[in-house]
Amino acid sequence: MDVDMNETNVLLVEDDVNVRTAIKGMLREMGISNIQEATDGVKALEYLDDHPDVLSLIVCDWNMPNKTGIGLLKDVRQAYPILPFLMVTARADKDSVLVAKNADVTGYICKPFSFEDFRKKVSTMLKIPM
Amino acid sequence: MIKRGRKRDFYLELLIAASIFIVCSAFLIFTDFFEWWFKYTRAHEGWELDELFSLVFALLIAGSVSAVRHVLMVRRLMKRLYQANRDLKAHKVERIRHEKMIALGSLASGLAHEINNSMQPVVGLGGFILEGLKESGNETHYEYMKTIMNSTEHSQGIINNVLIFAREKSLEYEALDAFKILPDAIKFSTDVLPSSVVVNVSFDVETDNHEAIYINVNRTGFYQIFYNMLNNASAAMDNQGAIDISLALDVIPEAPHEVALRVDIKDTGCGIDPDIQSKIFDPFFSTKDISEGTGLGLPTVYALVEQHGGCTVVNSIVGKGTVFSLYFPIVEKSKE
């Protein structure tokens, strides 16, 4: 099944502007141009409230002010149980991975990750043929 | 400590000998006095002299035996007390080191997280720039960018070690036969040592025909332990000499009920000054030139061995060399 990249909408939630720019660049390299940005979990939820059912994927950092990535994931899962959610974080310990798994995360990738690793992860989640 | 102990034993033995001598002398003096008393009083009527002597003699022997037993008992108790005192001191040192590790680990973990986060743009986007420079044919800038990427990779390696030290890096373990994984790990590390360093391996485990001994191992971590240890030993000998690796079945010093495989790595290097022995497992502590070491080798070994459920013990004599003993708990094959 071919995925139309023009209809792929990604919400990128990351408080660090440099990291946000980097991930946005990688998404663009993959051919995804519909990228919405939010700087924390609260702003991400506001976007979701205003634009329900438009997202194909959420790419989210863990440590953020106001609402953390895991807090956002729990809230998102109540309204969108199967929306792909990729956690991008520097937390590489088993406990953090377990916490995210228990909150029903779809994908988990540790920073700093290469474009290749990121592309594989996102492609699998969006079922894009590689 | 040992010399002082021997001196104390000598004095105790001297005291016992002197006590026996005094008791015997007292007995002889007493017999003279007793004979005199027997002749000049009538208190002994109804008793023969021999009977009285036997009675007094028996009492004195019983008293002496009892005294000697008590002295020996006190001696045993003192020995136990000194041992307990030594153990307590060792535990105190270990506890302080452990607390220091926790504090340093927490600091290192926080730093590593921040750095990993900040490195994301370099790692994620650097590849595109490298690719673009290659396609444009700008050789010089391509080489510059390659240097940046190599340096970034090196930094990532350091941060990974910091995360291992801070116990923030999750490791997967599998139960493997020590006789299979150990030679592999040693060979992997020996291959990169200078040819002037000889590594002698003597597997001397007293098992039934070298029956398999299983230890829980994270392959990469295990290889890293021996890579760091052998490099460290080699550097301590100025990359010249012999490193001896031997095995033994032992118990973990801090958990005497837990049977472990002990791997001794012995070098004939410069040894470690007692003043710095407590610091060698601290991150970024290094006696090497700044270009030669990051100061993360031994802390990573310490953390990795601990994550394998074991511990690291060091014995060193300045000018003669150092023995690092690594303890790995033995497990059942199915228990991973």
Nearest residue, CB atoms, A92 vs list B118, B122, B168: B168
CA–CA dist B304, B298 (Å, integer) = 10
**Taking CA atoms, what residue in A is nearest to B152?**
A112
E-strand stretches of chain A: 9-13, 34-38, 57-61, 85-89, 107-110
Q: Tell me the per-residue pLDDT of B176-195, one tens digit each, with 9 for 90 and over.
A: 998 888 988 888 888 888 88
Point out the least confidently predicted range of A30-39, A111-120, B202-211.
Answer: B202-211
DSSP state of B78: H
> Crossing angle, helix B49-136 and helix B2-40, to 10 degrees?
170
The answer to whether the Cβ–Cβ distance between B169 and A19 falls below 8 Å is no
Mean pLDDT for chain B overall: 83
Q: For A38-97, write each residue's pLDDT tens digit.
A: 999 999 999 999 998 899 999 999 999 989 999 999 999 999 999 999 999 998 888 899
Least confident of A65-69, A72-76, B57-61, B125-129: B57-61
* Helix A69-79 and helix A94-102, axial crossing angle in degrees, nearest 10: 20
Q: Which of A14, A15, A18 to mutate to test the interface with B (most CBs of B within 10 A)?
A: A18
Of A16, A90, A92, nearest to B170 by CB-CB distance is: A92
Query: What pLDDT, on the 0 to 100 scale, is given for residue B2?
Result: 43
pLDDT in tens, B229-284: 999 899 888 888 999 999 888 888 877 788 999 999 999 888 888 888 877 887 77
Whether the bond into A81 is cis, omega within 30 of 0: no
In this prediction, residue B209 has a pLDDT band, given cuts at 50, 70 and 90, of: low
* Pairing between β-strand A107-110 and β-strand B214-217 as defined by DSSP bridges: unpaired
Taking an 8 Å cut-off on Cβ atoms, the answer to whether A111 and B116 are in contact is yes
Of A28, A113, A76, A108, give the one whose Cα is nearest residue B152: A113
Handedness of CA B275, B106, B265, B253 (dihedral sign): positive
The pair of three-digit structure tokens given for residue A28, joined into one six-digit string: 């663009």
Quote the tokens at residue B317: 């004599």
pLDDT at B202 > cutoff 90: no
The pLDDT of residue B166 is above 80 = no
B166 to chain A: closest CA residue: A93
pLDDT computed for residue B88 by the predictor: 87
Taking CB atoms and an 8 Å limit, are B127 and A115 in contact across chains?
A: yes
Where are the domain boundaries for CATH 3.30.565.10 in chain B?
A: 174-329
CB atoms within 10 A of CB B79: 13
Contacts of residue A18 in chain B, CB cutoff 8 Å? 118, 120-121
Q: Which of the following CATH numbers is that of domain A5-126: 3.40.50.2300, 3.30.230.10, 3.40.50.2000, 3.20.20.60?
A: 3.40.50.2300
Is B113 close to A110, i.e. CB distance below 8 A? no
Residue of B nearest to A19 (CA): B121
Quick one: what percent of chain A has pLDDT higher than 90? Answer: 80
CA B217 to chain centre: 20
A92–B169 C-beta distance less than 8 A: yes
DSSP SS3 for B149 = helix
Q: What is the three-class DSSP state of A60?
A: strand
DSSP A5: G
Per-residue confidence (pLDDT) for residue B1, from 0 to 100: 41
CATH architecture classification, B174-329: 2-Layer Sandwich (3.30)
Terminal CA-to-CA distance of chain B, rounded, Å?
A: 42
Residue A116 with chain B: CB contacts under 8 Å: 127
What average pLDDT does range B126-144 have in this prediction? 92
B171: nearest CA partner in chain A: A94
The predicted structure's pLDDT at residue B278: 76
CB contact under 8 A, B120 and A19: yes
pLDDT number for residue B336: 45
Secondary structure of chain A in the HEC alphabet? CCCCHHHCEEEEECCCHHHHHHHHHHHHHCCCCEEEEECCHHHHHHHHHHCCCCCCEEEEECCCCCCCHHHHHHHHHHHCCCCCEEEEECCCCHHHHHHHHHCCCCEEEECCCCHHHHHHHHHHHHCCCC
Q: CA nearest A83: which of A100, A117, A107, A111?
A: A107
- ipTM (interface predicted TM): 0.82
* Residues of chain B contacting residue A93, judged by C-beta atoms under 8 Å apart: 167-170
